[in-house]
Amino acid sequence: MKSIVILISGRGSNMEAIVNAGIPGARIAAVISNRPDAKGLAFAAARGIPTAVVDHKAFPSREAFDAALAETIDTHGAELVVLAGFMRVLTDAFVRRYEGRLMNIHPSLLPSFPGLHTHQRAIEAGVRAHGATVHFVTPALDCGPVVIQAVVPVLPGDDEDSLSARVLRQEHRIYPQAVRWFVEDRLTVTAQGQVRVRDEAVDEAGWTIPSLDRVPGAGACDSRPS
């Protein structure tokens, strides 16, 4: 069994999707939040999953918070750390501590639309396809190796809410799949920073592992904010 720790800041709907997937070989060791009022904590506790709160407001610096968070994660023997709506920018030291075993999901087809407000930016850019990306986290924000993506159409009349809902449904499909591949030891990252999935054809229902050229709205892989 591989131990997985999931970090949330709110409801944690992607956390719920991973828990509900019942991934063979995976043990959800803990759900940790930086907010004591995160609704996802109640969901986890109701299913017998240990929970913890590391409140970022209680620490004088980002570095101090990250050190306390890492200590809590490590008490649960985490082999994979999953960011599921965790609304904190992590320090480079934290990211490197969990290099190759720290995953995030981002609501766009990276490298397009890194950062915030991705759905509105996609609509304003006039793109016809949008989606979600699961990637390994690196010190460059939203620029880590892509594990899997799901594509959705941008429809005439879409607003931020309707497009967000369409993307979220795909997030709930691809995040458990990415975690499953990790648990099954099927993911490798090449020297060029590309993810390879052993013995898997990912070409159905909008699932892709692409190397995308930049499209309107794409951002550069800059350093993580300080």
Superfamily of domain 105-216: Formyl transferase, N-terminal domain (3.40.50.170)
- Look up residue 133 and give its DSSP letter: E
221: pLDDT strictly greater than 90: no
Q: What is the tens place of the pLDDT at every residue in 13-72?
A: 999 999 999 999 999 999 999 999 999 999 999 999 999 999 999 999 999 999 999 999
Q: What is the pLDDT of residue 85?
A: 96
Residue ranges covered by each domain of the chain: 1-98, 105-216
pLDDT at 216 over 50: no
Residue 212 scores a pLDDT above 60:
no
Q: Are 86 and 34 in contact (CB under 8 A)?
A: yes
Would you call 106 a catalytic residue per the annotation?
yes
Residue 199 pLDDT = 79
Q: For residue 2, what is the enclosing H or E element?
A: strand 2-8
Find the mean pLDDT for residues 92-96.
97
Mark the binding-site residues, compressed into ranges.
Answer: 12-14, 62, 104
Q: What is the mean pLDDT of residues 124-138?
A: 98
Residue keyed to tokens 């010190």: 139
* Sequential DSSP letters for 148-206: EEEEEE--TT--HHHHHHHHHHHHHHHHHHHHHHHHTT-EEE-TTS-EEETT----STT
- Give binding residues for (6R)-10-formyltetrahydrofolate as ranges: 62, 104
What is the spatial distance between Cα 163 and Cα 166, in angstroms, rounded to a whole number?
5
Write out pLDDT tens, residues 160-206.
999 999 999 999 999 999 999 999 999 999 999 999 998 765 544 44
Task: Answer yes or no: is pLDDT of 74 > 80.
Answer: yes
Q: Give the CATH number of domain 1-98.
A: 3.40.50.170
Write down the mean pLDDT value for the chain. Answer: 91
Catalytic residue among 56, 76, 106, 135: 106
Rounded CA gap, 139 and 91, in Å? 8
1-98 and 105-216: same fold? yes
CB atoms within 10 A of CB 148: 24
